Each structure stands twice: as structure tokens, then as C-alpha cells.
Amino acid sequence: MSKINPLGLKAYLQTQELFEEKSKKTSSEGDSFTATLKDSLKKVNDLQEEKESMIKAFAAGEKQNVHELMITLQKAGIAMQMTTAVRNKVLEAYKEIMHLTF
């Protein structure tokens, strides 16, 4: 069994907070599923872009803070894992609906 990485846990909790804030906002404003999905994907993309820029800056020697780099990598990784998990669940639900007989 693997140990829980404190940086990964912190990034996971921050990502969860983002999704909880969005879900509260969505339910009160009545946003559509499409708008929510687009906004969530944009946030994941922004995290991926931030990750890439931090990697380039670190490799070029512009930034030496390894902790910030690792936190950013964990945030982007967890966000991508959650996005993949949601995609898989949506595809699974779609396949179940397609197999229903009326």
C-alpha cells in the first residue's frame, strides 16, 4: 500500500474545493450542464498550461522553488485524473442507456 503524499493531498483538497464551489454556484444560478462542463474543462486546461509554464521556467533556471513546482504538478495531475474519471463515468452511463430496451 502506498503512502499518502501530503502535497498530493493538499492539491486534491484544493481541487475538491474548486468543484464544490462550482457545484454550489451552478445549483443557485441554474447553469446548464454544457456550461458547467466547459468551465470545468477550461479550469483543467488552465492548470495544465500553468504546469507546462512552470516546468519550462524551472528547466531554464528561472525558478528554483521545487515545492511550488511539485504542488502545481500535483494539482494538474489530480485535475486530469478527475476529468478522466468523469469522462469514463459519462461513457459508462451512455453505454448503459444504449443497452436499455423499451
Cα distances from 69 to residues 21, 45, 85, 100, in angstroms, run 25, 17, 24, 47
**Sign, CA torsion 56/62/67/72:** negative
| Domain ranges within the chain, ordered by starting residue | 6-98
CA distance 70 to 29: 35
Residues 77-96: tens digit of each pLDDT: 999 999 999 999 999 999 99
pTM for the whole structure: 0.62
Tens digit of pLDDT at every position of the chain (102 positions): 456 566 666 777 777 777 777 666 655 555 688 888 899 999 999 999 999 999 999 999 988 889 999 999 999 999 999 999 999 999 999 999 998 876
CA distance 7 to 75: 9
In this prediction, residue 80 carries a pLDDT of: 94
SS3 for 63-74 is CCCHHHHHHHHH
In this prediction, residue 16 carries a pLDDT of: 75
In this prediction, residue 76 carries a pLDDT of: 94
